[in-house]
Each structure stands twice: as C-alpha cells, then as structure tokens.
Amino acid sequence: MEKNTSIECSISNCAYHAQAVDYCTLDKIKVGTHESNPTKKECTDCESFSMK
C-alpha cells in the first residue's frame, strides 16, 4: 500500500499502517474522541484504526 505523506502515524498494529515507514496508507482518516469534553491529545482517537 502507498503511504500518504500527509498522515504520519506510528501505530504499526493498524491494518492501514505503511509498516516500513511511519505513515498511514489511507487517503483520509477520521479523528474523534472517547471523552465528552476532550482537553488534551490523549483524549483523541483515530477512528479509522483497524486491527490488522
């Protein structure tokens, strides 16, 4: 899969990770939150994640 140089990512457990380099291979991703009032980066999630 071709890396998307606009989306850096270090989550190599994800099916969409480029593996050889720390990039996502999707054209776009969706970022969301599991919090009702997100206040720091730990509150954010990649909702496009899929376990490989």
Nearer to ligand SF4, 16 or 35 (CB): 16
Q: Which helix (H) or strand (E) holds 25?
A: none
In the complex, the smallest distance separating the C-beta of residue 22 from ligand SF4, rounded to whole angstroms, is: 9
Q: How far is the CB of 36 from ligand SF4 (least distance, A)?
A: 22
CA 51 to chain centre: 11
Tokens of 24: 């996502």
Task: Report the nearest approach of ligand SF4 to the CB of residue 14 (Å).
Answer: 3
Structure tokens at 18: 């480029």
End-to-end Cα distance, the chain = 14
Interface residues with ligand SF4 (CB under 6 A) are 7, 9, 11, 14, 16-17, 24, 26, 29, 46, 48-49
